[in-house]
Amino acid sequence: SRVADELAGALSGNEFHLVFQPLVDLKSGKVTAAETLLRWHNRYLGVVSPEQFVPLAEELGLIRPIGEWLLTAACREAQKWQSFGLGDIGVAVNISPRQFQQGDILTIIERALSETELAPRLLTIEITEGLLLANSEEVINKLDRIRALGVTLSVDDFGTGYSSLSYLKTLPVDVLKIDRSFVADMLENLDDATLVDAIIAMGHSMHLEVVAEGVETEAQLAYLTENGCDSGQGYYFSPPLNPTRFRDFVIERS
Ligand code: G
Ligand code: G
Ligand code: MN
Ligand code: NA
């Protein structure tokens, strides 16, 4: 396809760039980290969503070089935040299940950290709940080894897997990100509110940090703050920003 042809040349053509969406500590209102989101702008296709091109990149065997580039670029940017004196601002990178299952994800993470000299504690790897549900020994082994580097592990879109929350006890993760669909509906739908409360309580009882994604309104922020959620991310605070605007946002908020 045309998209596949263009995708094959996108990395060497410098067509990818990164945007950063702030994660805000709900107690202090300060930015603690950013989620890195990949953007592809192609001269013929325009802006293509990662929802479209990530699966295609996986099929075409392109996700490995793209992922390696992205991880290094994200760590390099976070190292800049350090050298500019913005404080300890972490950076989170999404790793798809297919990417995670590739043989050398650990090596790629290690290499990105050593090349950029970013402190491992400032890097978070976001995996999806689906990956954990497989509950395979190989996956858990890899998670353990990534965590042993000092890297933080976060479970993205949490709550969508319809799993028992108790399975988390056995997993080496540090952060739960409540899926934005629950946040969107929690003020109108009691089931969603109950689930959000349960995730916060359960997460805290296991000493996990709980992040709400898709925070869009002040009322949602108030509910989450009252109910002890640790951090928030969403359009209420900021959309994903280019690197310059992200730095300005951190400075304005500090
Ligand atoms: O930022 P946006 O709403 O366009 O992202 C759409 C989807 O693409 C989200 O599910 C997001 O997690 C995913 N996505 C964005 N950037 C990356 C990335 O760098 N790697 C992977 N695997 N997924 C990404
Ligand atoms: O699946 P993941 O959580 O990685 O998805 C990130 C995507 O969510 C990004 O494409 C980002 O643009 C989008 N996003 C970020 N904040 C909000 C928000 O407050 N509301 C909605 N609907 N989407 C958001
Ligand atoms: Mn994510
Ligand atoms: Na998410």
Question: Of all protein residues, whose CA lies closest to atom 22 belonging to ligand 2?
Answer: 214
In a domain, 200, yes or no: yes
Higher pLDDT, 15 or 129: 15
d(CA 27, CA 37): 25
User: Cβ(241)–Cβ(235) under 8 Å?
Assistant: no
Domain span including residue 124 = 23-36+63-253
Contacts 24+ apart (CB under 8 A), 199-207: 199/158, 199/159, 199/165, 200/227, 200/228, 200/229, 202/165, 202/168, 203/176, 204/228, 206/168, 206/169
In a domain, 112, yes or no: yes
- Percent of the chain whose pLDDT exceeds 70: 99
> Residue 174 falls within a domain, yes or no?
yes
Reported as a pLDDT band with limits 50, 70 and 90, residue 68 is: very high
Task: Output the CA 137–ligand 2 centroid distance in Å.
Answer: 31
With left for phi above 0 and alpha for psi between -120 and 50, is residue 159 left, alpha or beta? left
Q: Structure pTM?
A: 0.96
Q: What's the domain count of the chain?
A: 1
Q: Is residue 6 part of a domain?
A: no
- What is the CA(249)–ligand 1 centre distance, in A? 21
Mean pLDDT (the chain) is 94
Mutational test site, ligand 1, from 54, 63, 126, 160, max ligand atoms within 8 Å of CB: 54
Kindly report, residue by residue over 95-127, the tens digit of the pLDDT.
999 899 887 999 999 999 999 999 999 999 999
Mean pLDDT throughout 71-97?
97
Q: 106-120, 127-141, 162-176, 238-252: lowest mean pLDDT where?
A: 162-176
Backbone φ, ψ for residue 3 (5° rounding): -60, -45
Give a yes or no: residue 148 inside a domain.
Answer: yes
Q: At residue 163, does pLDDT exceed 70?
A: no
> Does 199 map to a domain?
yes
The CATH number linked to 73 is 3.20.20.450
Distance 70 CA to ligand 3 centre (A): 14
How many Cβ atoms sit within 10 Å of the Cβ of residue 88?
12
Assigned domain for 42 exists: no
Digit-coded pLDDT (tens) for 227-246: 999 999 999 999 999 999 99
| d(CA 126, ligand 3 centre) in Å | 6
Pocket of ligand 2, candidates 94, 213, 238: which has the most ligand atoms within 8 Å of its Cβ, to mutate?
213
* C-beta of 128 in contact with ligand 2 (< 6 A): no
Query: With 0-12 CB in 10 A as exposed, 13-18 as middle and 19+ as buried, what is 106?
Result: middle
What's the one-letter identity of residue 204?
H
Stretch among 77-86, 113-122, 132-141 having the lowest mean pLDDT: 132-141
Residue 235 in contact with ligand 2 by CB distance below 6 A: yes
Fill in the amino acid letter for 182: F
d(CA 198, CA 246): 32
Find where tokens 């500090």 sit: 254
Ligand 3: distance of its center to the CA of 1 in Å? 28
The closest residue, in CA terms, to atom 1 on ligand 2 is 157
Which ligand is closest to the CA of 54, given by its number?
1
Question: Is the reported ipTM for this assembly greater than 0.85?
Answer: yes
Does residue 247 belong to any structural domain of this protein?
yes
**What pLDDT band is residue 50 in, cutting at 50, 70 and 90?**
very high
